[in-house]
């Protein structure tokens, strides 16, 4: 999992697949893949990612880089690297779908 702890929280690197049937998170080796329902138009995917990850982490999530790319870096405020990895691993059991 590509995570990096900073003084403000943890930065996670994700790969995004837009226009999917439902929102889903899959951890594939060291890569975090986020399947979004929105189309990549006028920042809709970014808004969906921030909204959904904010619910998962229960804190502010902001886009650090990759606004127009499928590769994105997100800052999860006030969360340690270990906490972020534990939450993502716990959520992957809920979100992961064998169809992907």
pTM: 0.85
3-95 homologous superfamily: YggU-like (3.30.1200.10)
* Closest CA relative to residue 13, chosen from 76, 55, 92, 77: 76
The conformation of residue 59, written as its DSSP 8-state character, comes to S
Residues 6+ apart with CB under 8 A from 35: 17, 20, 22, 23, 24, 25, 26, 100
User: How many other CB atoms are there within 10 angstroms of residue 12's CB atom?
Assistant: 25
Per-residue confidence (pLDDT) for residue 39, from 0 to 100: 93
How do residues 39-90 score in pLDDT, each as one tens digit?
Answer: 999 999 999 999 999 999 999 999 999 999 999 999 999 999 999 988 888 7
Q: Domain ranges for the chain, please list them.
A: 3-95
What sign has the CA pseudo-torsion 68, 6, 31, 97?
Answer: negative
């Amino acid at each position: 999992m590509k995570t990096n702890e900073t003084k403000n929280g943890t930065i996670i690197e994700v790969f995004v697949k837009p226009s999917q049937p439902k929102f889903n998170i899959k951890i594939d080796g060291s890569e975090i893949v986020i399947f979004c329902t929105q189309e990549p138009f006028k920042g809709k995917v970014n808004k969906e990612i921030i909204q959904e990850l904010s619910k998962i982490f229960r804190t502010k999530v902001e886009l650090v880089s990759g606004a127009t790319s499928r590769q994105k870096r997100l800052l999860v405020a006030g969360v340690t690297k270990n906490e972020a990895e534990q939450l993502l691993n716990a959520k992957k059991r809920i979100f992961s779908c064998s169809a992907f």
